[in-house]
Structure 1
Amino acid sequence: MDYFCVVSRDDIAERWGQALQRTLKRIDPDSVAGRSSMAGICLAHWDCLQQAGRERLLARAHDNKLLLLVLTDHPKTDQGRDVIRRGAKGYGNTFVTSSLLLEMVKVVKAGDIWAGPEVLQSVLRQLLEQVDPPTGSLVERFGLSDREAEVLAEVMAGVSNKVAARRLDITERTVKAHMSAILNKTGARDRVELILLAQRAEQNAV
C-alpha cells in the first residue's frame, strides 16, 4: 500500500515520516486538484490546501480509492464532521504525537474511523437526526444475536461504547467485541456506514 503526504512544509513532512518510520510519497498541494489517480493512505495537511485540492482528495476518499487522514493545525468539530461524512477516515491535529499518529494509521488501515469523540458524536447525531433508523431489518437480514441487536440499538441511539456498556450492564470491552462482530456480519466498515446501512435496509423494507 502506498503512503502519501500532501504538505507544503518540510518540517511537517519530516515529522510524519519519522513518526510512521517510512518514506512518504510527497505531493505538492498545488498539484492535487489535477491528479487523476491516487490510491493508498494519504496524510493531508488541510491548512495548506486550496478548496479544489480538498475536493479532489475527498472525492477520492468517497469513492474508496484513498484512505484519507485530514490533519489540521486547529481542529474544529464542524470541520471534522464534514470531512468524515464526506469520506475521510481520520481527523486530528497536525502535530499529534508520534504514537498517536501511528495509532491513527493503524485504526484507519483496519477499516475504522479515527477522530475525537466530539467529532464522532457530532457525525452520528447529524445522521440520526435525518432519519431515525430502526434496527429490525438489519437484525433479521444479517442474523444478529440478541445481544448484538441490543448493542446495535445503542449505536443507533448515538451513544458511546462506555455509555452502551453501562446501559447494558456489560463491560466496554464486551461492547467493542459485539461491535466488531456486527461490523463483520454486515460488512460495514464503521459506525457511520452501519447507520447508513440501517437506513437503506429500512427504506428497502418499506
Structure 2
Amino acid sequence: MMHYFCSDGMEIPMGLAKAFPQIQMVDQRSTLHVSSGAAIVWLHLRPGRTVGQQVQALKQQVPGAYFVGMSDLPNDLEALAVFSVMAKGYCNTHAGAEVLLNVASVVQQGGVWIGESLMQKLLGMPPAAPQLDMVAETWSGVLTGRETEVAKAIAVGATNKQIAAQMGITERTVKAHVGAVLDKLKLKNRLQLALLVKDR
C-alpha cells in the first residue's frame, strides 16, 4: 500500500512520517496512476474551500486511491462532510503514528475510520422525533429555496462565512436561514441537519 500526503504548504506531519517512512508528498496538481485500493491519500484540509471541493478535485487526479481527511481542528460537521464525499477516514493532522497505523489498517480492510468523538455522538443521539420521520424523505419541501441551499451547504461542511460568500448574502442572513431550517425541521443542531440532508 502506497501512502501520499497532499497539502498546500505543510510538510509531512511527524506522525505520518514515522508511521509510513516511504510516504510521498503530492499537491493538488499531481496526477497519480494507482490501482484501485492500492494507495491512501492523506489530505490536509484547508479553510476557505469546502471539503467536497477539496476531495472531489483530488479524486479526479487519483481515482483509484482511498482518501483520509486530516484536520488541524477536527469537528463533527467537517467529519460528516468528509464522509459525504466517500472518503474513508477523518483524523487530526497531528495524530500519533500508532493512531495513523490503526486508521490505515481499518481503511485497507475496507472499513471507515470515523473517530471516537463522532461515533459517541451518533450512538448517543436520541431516536428521531415522529415529525422528523415524516419530513425525512421530503425535508426540502418544507423549506424555501434559499433555506434548502443553506441546508445542502451545511451537509457538505460549509461554514456560515463560506455559505454567505457562495450565496452573496451576509453571515447574519445565513444565521437567520439556519435558525429557520432547524426550527421548521424540529432539529436541535447542525449535526442533526447534516445527518438528515447528506444522504438525500
TM normalised by structure 2 equals: 0.50
TM normalised by structure 1 equals: 0.48
Q: RCO higher in 1 or 2 (8 Å CA, sep ≥ 6)?
A: 2
| Larger helix proportion of the pair | 1
